[in-house]
Amino acid sequence: MIVGFSPDELQAIRLSLAVAARAVGFGLPLACLVAAALARGRFVGRGVLDIVVHLPLVLPPVVVGWLLLLTFGLRGQIGGLLHDWFGIRLVFTTEGAALACAVMSFPLMVRTIRLSLDAIDPGLIEAARTLGAGRLDRLFSIVLPLALPGIVVGAVVAFAASLGEFGAVITFAANIPGQTQTLPLAIYTALQQPEGEAVAARLSLVSVSLAVTGLLISEFLGRRLRARLGR
């Protein structure tokens, strides 16, 4: 056991890291597709998709958690089907906490990746096309390498944001020790107990350290990748 931390506190820290990793792993591929559609696509409903994607940035997290309950709860349209057909339950589970974090951090990934895609010179893609490069060739030889800084930075920032998510997680996944009690929820629980300020202070320090580390890593990786690409 790390000095100064109880097993329950260490469990909350490990769970936070695991939930954040799942959230990014689940959301990043979809964020790349959505960012590409918004950056390059021309289709009916593009504006509506843009609004829906960015709603978690402006809605209260509790509202997002409530909407997740309506959708993925046992009586929700999707959650009910998942439970009845496949025996999958997301509400009040670790997977549900990861889903809530993924939804809240999704706009951050999309915006960062989209900005990276918008910065790509269309002339490069057009030149490759005229030279005979197919769509997949252009994707893997030009688009993805040039968009890589945005993808990496978006993933790291989303990971750091997921570590601090509270409202959506507690509303959709509850506050269950060992299953859904992430760092913010553990801090909240400690503050509700007599003389819990010391525990809250320790966990808050961990939370701040992880957040600062994530931001520093994203800045460092972004600069290194842009330098390698000559941007």
Q: Does the structure show a pLDDT above 80 at 137?
A: no
Whole-number pLDDT of residue 223: 80
Q: Does the structure show a pLDDT above 70 at 230?
A: no
Whole-number pLDDT of residue 3: 55
Return phi, psi of residue 23, to 5°: -60, -45
Domains of the chain, first to last: 7-228 (1.10.3720.10)
> Binning pLDDT at 50, 70 and 90, where does residue 218 land?
confident
> Binning pLDDT at 50, 70 and 90, where does residue 107 land?
very high
Whole-number pLDDT of residue 1: 43
Q: Does the structure show a pLDDT above 60 at 2?
A: no
Range 120-156 burial, b when 16+ CB lie within 10 A, else e: beeeebeebeeeebeeeebeeebbeebbbbbbbbbbb
Q: Show Cβ contacts of residue 64 under 8 Å, excluding neighbours closer than 6 positions.
A: 55, 56, 100, 103, 104, 167, 168, 171
Whole-number pLDDT of residue 231: 56
Q: What is the mean pLDDT of residues 71-83?
A: 89
pTM over the 0.85 mark? yes
Q: What is the mean pLDDT of residues 54-69?
A: 94
Whole-number pLDDT of residue 211: 87
Q: Which of 213, 174, 210, 154 is nearest to 24 (CA)?
A: 154
Q: Using a pLDDT cut of 90, give the percent of the chain over it.
A: 52
The pLDDT tens digits of the residues spanning 110-133 come to 999 998 888 877 777 778 778 777
Q: Show Cβ contacts of residue 11 under 8 Å, excluding neighbours closer than 6 positions.
A: 177, 178, 181
Q: What is the mean pLDDT of residues 211-220?
A: 86
> Binning pLDDT at 50, 70 and 90, where does residue 227 land?
confident
Average pLDDT, the chain: 87
Q: What is the mean pLDDT of residues 50-75?
A: 93
Q: Does the structure show a pLDDT above 60 at 178?
A: yes
Q: Show Cβ contacts of residue 152 under 8 Å, excluding neighbours closer than 6 positions.
A: 218, 221, 222, 225
Structural tokens at position 35: 């960012």
Residues in the chain: 231
> Binning pLDDT at 50, 70 and 90, where does residue 189 land?
very high
CA–CA separation, 159 and 9 (whole Å): 20
> Binning pLDDT at 50, 70 and 90, where does residue 229 land?
low
Whole-number pLDDT of residue 163: 92
Which residue type is seen at 123? G
CB 99 within 8 A of CB 172: yes
